[in-house]
């Protein structure tokens, strides 16, 4: 059975899927997706406000559940934000559509499995195929490896991106991107201490001892703001609104600007525009988000990164349907995802897979 990686909280018995983002090894193939944000910066450091917060125009935070769709979730959040800015109305796009086609772009001849995808392949899929509405291709995890319907592909032609810009792992560049009104998706190496953010949203900086351990996992998220007062980025996660600060967390500047820990930072565009306005600049920045963590009594032993042997949800559902005499029909029930959990010893939870 495939090996899955989870961030596990022993106290709450919650676990969250990791390693849904595979590191990219090359730029996207098309020229319009190979741009660099450094060529589009309009603001120097002196012009940047002390705080930017794009959350008022973000759609509700969603939950990726137990499948490795974090890359698709991060890009869906970015796309929905762009649609809100362009049309003043909320849309809910299909994360599963993006996730399927991001994996298909890696190798059209390979079987589709729930092993995550790279940021660049998901971006290529958004540019080539677009994305449909959630109502057309719903987030049913038992369909994680099922090709979307013809109706989904037809509608998705109207919802494609125009450009993608790579962002250097650099504080000034990241802040400028957000100040110009663009959230950016990124990959991050997570350690068990990341789970401390579950209660408050405040992510601790992993210490040198933790960074030297083999037990870690990769996760994609969406940066939607920053605060100089807190010296932290405001980040949208995909573990539901009950996690962190209503689904968001605050990641230290030093964490997100460490190129050994943060990778594959990209922003997407629906229209060719370098600046979406300054609606959410805050020149006061009165809140120190780090203070949220002071009143929480947290035990390091509550957190763990686990590897689990388990089948894909779609495989489990298919077996259950065959057992009921339903043949190979597309299962709509939620699979039980049986598996054997492994606590980490010396082996790495970060699989070495990469995606080009």
Does the pLDDT of residue 184 top 50, yes or no?
A: yes
**Cβ–Cβ < 8 Å for 116, 20:** yes
Does the pLDDT of residue 110 top 90, yes or no?
A: yes
pLDDT (0 to 100) of residue 330: 35
pLDDT (0 to 100) of residue 315: 57
192-206 residue pLDDT tens: 999 999 999 999 999
When computed from its CA atoms, the radius of gyration of the chain, rounded to whole angstroms, is: 20
Least confident of 19-23, 61-65, 269-273, 316-320: 316-320
Task: Indicate whether 298 belongs to any domain.
Answer: yes
pLDDT (0 to 100) of residue 73: 99
pLDDT (0 to 100) of residue 318: 46
Task: Indicate whether 340 belongs to any domain.
Answer: no
From the list 3, 95, 32, 6, the residue with the least C-alpha distance to 268 is 32
Residue 294 burial (CB count, 10 A) = 8
C-alpha dist (Å) from residue 94 to 68, 135, 148, 157, 203: 15, 8, 10, 13, 28
Tokens of 186: 């990124």
Task: Indicate whether 61 belongs to any domain.
Answer: yes
Domain of residue 106, residue span: 8-335
From the list 105, 109, 106, 104, the residue with the least C-alpha distance to 144 is 104
Does the pLDDT of residue 310 top 90, yes or no?
A: no
Task: Indicate whether 350 belongs to any domain.
Answer: no
Does the pLDDT of residue 119 top 90, yes or no?
A: yes
- Concatenated DSSP letters of 269-322: ESSS-S---STTEESS----GGGGGTT----GGGEEEEEEEE--HHHHHHHHHH
Does the pLDDT of residue 74 top 60, yes or no?
A: yes
Least confident of 83-97, 188-202, 262-276, 287-301: 287-301
pLDDT (0 to 100) of residue 316: 53
Domain count, the chain: 1
Task: Indicate whether 39 belongs to any domain.
Answer: yes
Task: Indicate whether 136 belongs to any domain.
Answer: yes
pLDDT (0 to 100) of residue 347: 36
Residue 118 burial (CB count, 10 A) = 27
Task: Indicate whether 112 belongs to any domain.
Answer: yes
Task: Indicate whether 1 belongs to any domain.
Answer: no
The 3-state DSSP composition of the chain as helix, strand, coil percent (nearest 5) reads 30, 25, 45
pLDDT (0 to 100) of residue 300: 62
What's the mean pLDDT when you consider all of the chain? 87
Length of the chain: 356
CATH of the domain at 20: 3.90.70.10
C-alpha dist (Å) from residue 243 to 87, 238, 248, 252, 314: 29, 9, 8, 18, 26
84-108 residue pLDDT tens: 999 899 999 999 999 999 999 999 9
Does the pLDDT of residue 331 top 50, yes or no?
A: no
Count of CA atoms in the C-beta half-sphere (13 A) of 174: 32
């Amino acid at each position: 059975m495939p090996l899955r990686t989870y961030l596990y909280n022993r106290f709450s018995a919650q676990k969250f899927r990791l390693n849904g983002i595979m590191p990219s090894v090359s730029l996207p193939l098309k020229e319009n997706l190979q741009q660099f944000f450094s060529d589009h910066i309009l603001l120097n450091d002196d012009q940047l406000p002390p705080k930017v917060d794009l959350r008022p125009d973000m759609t509700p935070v969603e939950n990726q559940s137990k499948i490795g769709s974090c890359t698709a979730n991060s890009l869906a959040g970015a796309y929905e934000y762009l649609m809100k800015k362009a049309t003043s109305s909320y849309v809910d796009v299909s994360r599963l559509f993006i996730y399927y086609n991001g994996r298909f772009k890696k190798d059209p001849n390979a079987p589709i499995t729930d092993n995550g995808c790279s940021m660049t392949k998901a971006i290529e899929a958004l540019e080539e195929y677009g994305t449909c509405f959630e109502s057309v291709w719903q987030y049913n995890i038992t369909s994680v490896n099922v090709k979307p319907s013809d109706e989904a592909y037809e509608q998705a032609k109207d919802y494609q991106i125009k450009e993608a810009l790579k962002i250097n792992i650099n504080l000034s560049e990241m802040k400028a991107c957000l100040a110009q009104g663009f959230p950016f998706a990124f990959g991050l190496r997570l350690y068990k201490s990341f789970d401390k953010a579950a209660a408050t949203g405040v992510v601790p900086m992993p210490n040198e001892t933790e960074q030297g351990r083999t037990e870690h996992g990769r996760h994609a998220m969406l940066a939607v703001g920053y605060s100089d007062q807190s010296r932290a980025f405001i980040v949208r996660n995909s573990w539901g609104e009950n996690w962190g600060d209503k689904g968001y967390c605050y990641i230290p500047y030093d964490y997100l600007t460490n190129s050994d820990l943060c990778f594959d930072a990209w922003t997407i565009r629906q229209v060719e525009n370098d600046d979406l306005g300054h609606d959410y600049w805050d020149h006061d920045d009165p809140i120190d988000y780090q203070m949220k963590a002071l009143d929480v009594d947290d035990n390091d032993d509550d957190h763990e990164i686990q590897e689990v042997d388990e089948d894909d949800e779609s495989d489990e559902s298919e077996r259950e349907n065959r057992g009921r005499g339903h043949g190979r029909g597309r299962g709509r029930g939620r699979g039980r995802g049986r598996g054997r959990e492994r606590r980490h010893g010396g082996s790495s939870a970060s699989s070495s897979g990469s995606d080009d």
